[in-house]
Structure 1
Amino acid sequence: MNPHNSPRARNSGRMRVTALTTFLALALSGCAAAGAEKPLPERPSAGPSASPGATASAAADGPSPAATMVCGDETRTNIVKALSLPSEPPTTDSWADKLYTCTYTLPSGHLMLSVKETSDPETARKFFDGLQQQAPGAAPIEGLANLGFPAFQTPTSAVFTKDNFVLTVDAAALPSTLGPHAVSRDAFAYQVATAVLACWSE
């Protein structure tokens, strides 16, 4: 039997689409609220737009506003709501080799979001393909669940590429299930990634 057509795979796909529908509603409202209340964090050399369509060269000395969204108020709020956390988790971030990384310290462990900025979409796709080839258990995210972008998922992470950006949500340091609804790590990583994509696409 083709593993992608197995009952487990079909159930996983249905769960992702269901999670996508509910979480994107939350995410889009969060993006709108964050945009109305507070501008994106300012970075000394970041470009004026938060759209990932802007080339990474505009942020040669620092991450772009689109990249820093993964550590912004809207993403933090979405994580709090998804896991029913009592307060916002602390974060640490870094920028090196065109890779912006934001690590959330959750009650149950660390969640790492990263954005690789490249010079053009073709380079981003090569970087994405390399990650997919190296990731154990990587499987493409297909159909409605990928939002129209190249994407893959592992048992602990989700990776998407859009324009000249590659977004990775790594939940490997978290327990196998999370929150009051016992969401699996891979489903949570997918939810967080698609929420960021939704904000990028606004």
Structure 2
Amino acid sequence: MKNRVSLLAPLALSLALSGCAAAAGSTGDAPPAASPAASVETPNAGHAGHHGTDPAAPQAGPAAPSEAAKMVCGDEPMDRLTTILSLKQKPHTVSNWANSTFTCTYHLPEGALTISVQEAPDQAKARTYFDAMQALATGVTPIEGLANLGFPAYETAAGSAVFQKDNFVLKVDASALPAAVGPDALSRNALAYQLSTTILACWVEHH
């Protein structure tokens, strides 16, 4: 909790000063539609994305990912990740759209980091999905107080952070990485939290 709270000031600064590259679009209701699977790779991508069917996922949602959802594969989390880990070049990414979920996988030297956004038809269904995810997860600790930024949130012992905002459920999964990453030996949970707040800052800015 101490690591998370210490990051609130930089987050507030980013809300005031940062310019997110893509327009967030609406984070409110989306018209129900079938969600055919679609995979999109970045120009230098060479691996397929992975996202399995989740029985808890809403069965109706947008036909394509919103601009807000696609921000998880955008410049802000990419730059943040590159800075935190002191990478010499930006990591290769692969994005995928399936089952109303946009997934971006960052291929790092230490392993894969996956960020996903489940888009529900409305906020109530997103909360139902969030609650189901939390109930099914193991090693769950709620993120409370100032650290959750006013949103339902939890983290897992394996290294994931999950937030629900409007009709979105954001999950940053660092569980495939080593226990400590980067020159500052950041924990998986701290990394997942920092990337989550970076994305949430963009969503709040463009809401």
Q: Which residue of 1 aligns with 2:202?
A: 199
1:114-146 alpha-carbon deviations (Å, 9 max, x no partner)? 000001111000000011011111111001100
Q: Which residue of 2 aligns with 1:154?
A: 156
> Is the alpha carbon distance of 1:71 and 1:131 closer, same or farther for their aligned partners in structure 2, counting shifts above 3 Å?
same
Q: Provide the C-alpha distance between the structure 2 equivalents of 1:138 and 1:75, rounded to a whole number of angstroms.
A: 24
SS at match of 1:201: helix
> Is the alpha carbon distance of 1:19 and 1:172 closer, same or farther for their aligned partners in structure 2, counting shifts above 3 Å?
same
> Is the alpha carbon distance of 1:25 and 1:141 closer, same or farther for their aligned partners in structure 2, counting shifts above 3 Å?
same
> Is the alpha carbon distance of 1:106 and 1:160 closer, same or farther for their aligned partners in structure 2, counting shifts above 3 Å?
same
Q: TM-score, normalised by structure 1?
A: 0.81
SS at match of 1:54: coil
Please tell me whether the aligned partners of residues 113 and 177 of structure 2 are also in contact (alpha carbons under 8 angstroms): yes
Higher helix share: 1
Q: Provide the C-alpha distance between the structure 1 equivalents of 2:26 and 2:149, rounded to a whole number of angstroms.
A: 15
Say if 2:30 is the partner of 1:22: no
SS at match of 2:7: helix
Task: Write the letter of the residue equivalent to 2:132.
Answer: G
SS at match of 1:70: helix
Alpha-carbon RMSD across the aligned residues, in angstroms, is 1.9
Task: Write the letter of the residue equivalent to 1:115.
Answer: V
Equivalenced residue count is 176
How far did 1:28 drift?
A: 6.3
- The partner residue of 2:181 within 168, 178, 181 is 178
Gapped regions of structure 2 (runs ≥ 5) = 33-60
Q: TM-score, normalised by structure 2?
A: 0.79
Indicate the structure whose relative CO is greater, using CA pairs within 8 Å and at least 6 residues apart: 2
Task: Write the letter of the residue equivalent to 2:123.
Answer: P
How far did 1:21 drift?
A: 2.7
Query: Which residues of 2 match residues 10-89 of structure 1 at below 5 A?
Result: 13-22=1-10, 25=13, 29=17, 31-32=18-19, 34-35=20-21, 40=22, 50-57=24-31, 60-89=62-91
Gapped regions of structure 1 (runs ≥ 5) = 1-12, 41-48
